[in-house]
Chain A
Amino acid sequence: DAGVIQSPRHEVTEMGQEVTLRCKPISGHNSLFWYRQTMMRGLELLIYFNNNVPIDDSGMPEDRFSAKMPNASFSTLKIQPSEPRDSAVYFCASSLRQGWTTDTQYFGPGTRLTVL
């Protein structure tokens, strides 16, 4: 299996622009997670989908952030408009079942976002 696939790997954009990050989870996995990693705040869960339905978006920082999962093999995280403080590495992860505690979360390689 190719693992979790994310694109782009690097994104540099200017403040105010729309940014779309993409994720393809491992085939057959029912749960998908978006995380943000920064030096200051570490790894933070932004949103959790199960069977393509958003279950928990309490970690989404503000309305500028939105996430969708139109089907089992694709998810997007959109930031509009982007701000310099959004600069971070964004990870997508997937797990096999319904987000159970001991269900291993498999992380993608991440997208490094820089907002100028």
Chain B
Amino acid sequence: QQQVKQSPQSLIVQKGGISIINCAYENTAFDYFPWYQQFPGKGPALLIAIRPDVSEKKEGRFTISFNKSAKQFSLHIMDSQPGDSATYFCAATSGTYKYIFGTGTRLKVLA
């Protein structure tokens, strides 16, 4: 119930392509879904976040799509760039500081 399942584990995309990372959850009490980006040797950093009352949120090339009925949400990176190569984590929480993180997706964007 408390898990957030993330896929794929790794992803290789050509420069300019679209990267898509998916997450699924079971706990319907989750009400906040952030995505974190982590570069090698660095800590995770908040990238973008969404609440379940909207179906999509866009910030620059990054978009979260949210499907409440399916209990799924995904991160889309448009026009992917080599600088986007990092590990991406989805997370979920139900009104508290306690985030449940996905297992991470290692993205590599080829130049």
B43 and A109 contact, CB distance less than 8 A: yes
- Cross-chain contact of B43 among A42, A103, A107 (Cβ < 8 A): A107
A42 touches B102 (CB 8 A): yes
- B32 beta carbon closer than 8 Å to chain A: yes
Q: Is the CB of B104 within 8 A of A42?
A: yes
Known contacts A91-B44, A110-B43; A101 and B103 CB within 8 A of each other = no
Q: For B49, what are the chain A residues with a Cβ–Cβ distance below 8 Å? A: 102
Q: Per-residue CB proximity of A42-76 to B under 8 Å, as 1/0?
A: 11010010000000100000000000000000000
CA distance A90 to B86 in the complex (A): 19
Interchain nearest-CB distance for A4 vs B (Å): 7
B99 contacts A by Cβ under 8 Å: yes
Q: Which residues of B contact A100 (CB under 8 A)?
A: 97
Q: A104: which of B41, B46, B103, B104 is its contact (CB, 8 Å)? A: B46
Find chain A residues with CB under 8 A from B104 CB.
Answer: 42
Q: Within 8 Å of chain A (Cβ to Cβ): is B93?
A: yes
Whether B99 and A105, one on each chain, are in contact in the complex, defined by CB atoms closer than 8 angstroms, is: yes
A103 to chain B: which residues have CB within 8 Å? 97
Looking at the complex, which one of A4, A33, A101 makes contact with B95 (CB distance below 8 Å)?
A: A101
| A interface footprint on B83-111 (CB within 8 Å = 1, 0 otherwise) | 00000010001011111011110000000
| Contact in complex: B89, A101 (CB < 8 Å) | no
Q: Is A25 an interface residue (CB 8 A)?
A: no
Q: Is the CB of A43 within 8 A of B96?
A: no
Q: In the complex the two chains form, what is the Cα distance from A37 to B44 in whole Å? A: 11
Are the CB atoms of B97 and A95 closer together than 8 Å?
yes
Contact B97 A99 (CB under 8 A): yes
Indicate if B31 sits at the interface (CB-CB under 8 A): yes
- In the complex, what residue of chain A is closest to B104 when comparing beta carbons? A42
Minimum-distance CB pairs A-B, first 3: A107-B43, A99-B97, A43-B101
Query: Which of B's residues lie within 8 Å of A, judged by CB?
Result: 31-32, 41-46, 49, 89, 93, 95-99, 101-104
Query: Which residues of A approach B to under 8 Å, CB–CB?
Result: 4, 31, 33, 42-43, 45, 48, 56, 91, 93, 95, 99-110
